[in-house]
Amino acid sequence: MPSLRKDEAGGPPFRRVLVANRGEIAVRIIRACHELGMEAVAVYSDADAAAAHVRLADRAVRLGPAAPTESYLRIEAVVAAAIETGAQAIHPGYGFLAERAAFARAVEEAGLAFVGPPSASIDALGDKLHARRTAAAVGVEAVPGTLRPAPLERPDQVAAIVAEAAEIGFPLLVKAAAGGGGRGMRRVTTPAELPAALVAGSREAASAFGDGSVYLEREISPARHIEVQLLGDVDGRVVALGERDCSLQRRHQKLVEEAPAPGLTVEDRVHLHELAVRVASAAGLRNAATAEFLRSPDGAFYFLEVNTRLQVEHGVTELVTGLDIVREQLFLAAGRPLSPAALEAAARSATPSGHAIEVRLSAEDPARDFAPAPGRVTRWAMPSGPGVRVDTALEAGDRIPADYDNLIAKVMVHAGDRDAAIDRLRRALDEVEIAGIQTTLPFHRFVARDASFRAADLSTGWVGEHWDGPSDFRHAVETAQLAAGLEAMDAAVAAGGASAASVRVAPPATPGGGASADGRWARSGLEAAQDRWPR
């Protein structure tokens, strides 16, 4: 067993923990359990029987077929697996059941510890309308909008809804009260569009979350999306560990995150962190959560929502603070108070040290509207070196199923300042080698070389303006085809079934390049191809 910190003198928080997730986050949690001398139990679907998280765990329990509704989303099966294996706690990771109050409640009722906020907090904060009312009650200004669900069952109320929308101001957003990820969201630019948008948004929300409640919210544009990492303990203390900028997103899905948020003053950070702590404290937060805000062009912060779970991008906060957030979660779930390390990180959160950036590598084609691109990975080489961290569960030969989220790896870098972090990110991404599938790697290489990104000219519309614009998009398509051709050639040669000449791909103009003796493009040629991604 590893040596324990002073605040861990009571020993590991649990003897055995079930990890109710898959992929890189399951691997991340299992490793944290092992570092604390605890056993980890994995759960898996038929599609994941040979997955890395299953191999890494001490025990594993099959949940069912590949479909999430028949495996990872089965609350009773997950709880039964924990009881059957003698686990004392369940960590949900993110996604799947992580923000389901019903799941947290089932875990609590089974006499197990839920490694996350208690069901009462998830109930209070998971519903966005409830969270908006909580924020209003403690004097934290939310994005202007309604505080109650739109009364869709009352046709006679349409005129009143349209009048309320006019008071909020167009353009505005119809948003789902439950869930996230842009599901149920509709942008409305005129009063005439509103009734249809309300109905369509409600139907999508009901299908995705089982709750069709929707509300109205003003669109703030341009805006930056900034979130605050929170921790809370059983004594009622809630602290902020710092903030992250998540403005680079597409269809409301984050693509790049960094900590700290560039351009904020110490006073800005103190104010923002205090707002986040105020909302979380009012809801009785315990364990880890994230309060999300929009920053308007005039510098004002508007509360959006609270995510009552570990975030995908928690790693950049770990790199900047030196704190292991998953480790802290486990101790908090066992009833321990906030550790001295967490309190120290919170005390210096307004004056962070260094800068960290994360990019989400996903099995998607950025030249085809980020379309999903599942398949088998034939080559997989991740970067390393100073200040580089990669969270993944993939290796060459693995197949990416179409049943789950397309995230395949998180590449993170940390350096003394933002410019150095961007330089390190560019170098790290140039070291990445993936074949067999299309990924978002070309997009991230583009971001790392873009002048406006380096200048921190960020907003939630950045991707649409810089990557999806007509000229950039055409250029991206052409260079994506080139990259795909290079990958096809490498894959064919590696399989031994084709020569370089037999793969019908026009070679790029590569000064000083050419093909190597074994039919592969020389490194200089690959680098020249990468350089032609749109800037």
The 3-class secondary structure across 74-129, one letter per residue, is: CHHHHHHHHHHHCCCEEECCCCCCCCCHHHHHHHHHCCCEECCCCHHHHHHHHCHH
Q: Residue 284 corresponds to which amino acid?
A: G
Backbone angles phi, psi at 373, to 5 degrees: -140, 65
Backbone phi, psi, residue 63, to 5°: -100, -30
Read off the DSSP letter of residue 385.
Answer: S
pLDDT for position 494: 66
Instruction: Note the pLDDT of residue 469.
Output: 65
Q: What is the pLDDT of residue 491?
A: 64
What's the burial of 264, exposed, middle or buried (CB within 10 Å: 0-12/13-18/19+)?
buried
Q: What is the dihedral of CA 62, 66, 72, 75, to 10 degrees?
A: -80
**Are 440 and 446 spatial neighbours (Cβ–Cβ below 8 Å)?**
no
pTM of the shown model: 0.84
Burial class (CB in 10 A: 0-12, 13-18, 19+), 214: buried
Q: How far is 99 from 86, CA to CA, in rounded Å?
A: 24
Residue 485: closest CA among 501, 506, 514: 506
- Going residue by residue through the chain, which has 535 residues, state the pLDDT in tens, using 9 for 90 and above: 333 344 455 799 999 999 999 999 999 999 999 999 999 999 999 999 999 999 999 999 999 999 999 999 999 999 999 999 999 999 999 999 999 999 999 999 999 999 999 999 998 887 889 999 999 999 999 999 999 999 887 777 888 899 999 999 999 999 998 877 678 899 999 999 999 999 999 999 888 777 888 999 999 999 999 999 999 999 999 999 999 999 999 888 999 999 999 999 999 999 999 999 999 999 999 999 999 999 999 999 999 999 999 999 999 999 999 999 999 999 999 999 999 999 999 999 999 999 999 999 999 999 888 999 999 999 999 999 999 999 999 999 999 999 999 999 999 999 999 999 999 999 999 999 999 999 999 999 999 999 999 999 999 999 999 997 644 555 555 566 666 666 666 666 666 654 444 444 433 333 333 333 333 333 433 443 443 333 3
Quick: pLDDT tens for 111-163.
Answer: 999 999 999 999 888 788 999 999 999 999 999 999 999 988 777 788 889 99
CATH topology of domain 6-115: Rossmann fold (3.40.50)
For the chain, the straight-line distance linking the first and the last C-alpha, in angstroms and rounded, comes to 50
144-218: CATH architecture = 2-Layer Sandwich (3.30)
* Rounded Cα gap, residues 246 and 294, in angstroms: 10
Euclidean distance between CA atoms 203 and 168, whole angstroms? 23
CATH number for the domain whose boundaries are 224-440: 3.30.470.20
Amino acid 492: pLDDT: 63
The secondary structure of residue 263, as a DSSP letter, is T
Residue of 461, 407, 446, 413 lying closest to 225 (CA atoms)? 461
| Exposure on the CB side of residue 265, measured as CA atoms within 13 A | 5
Tell me the per-residue pLDDT of 179-194, one tens digit each, with 9 for 90 and over: 776 788 999 999 999 9
**CB crowding 315-336: b at 16 or more within 10 Å, else e:** bbbbbbbebbbbbbbbbbbbeb
| Boundaries of every domain in the chain | 6-115, 144-218, 224-440
pLDDT at 470: 46
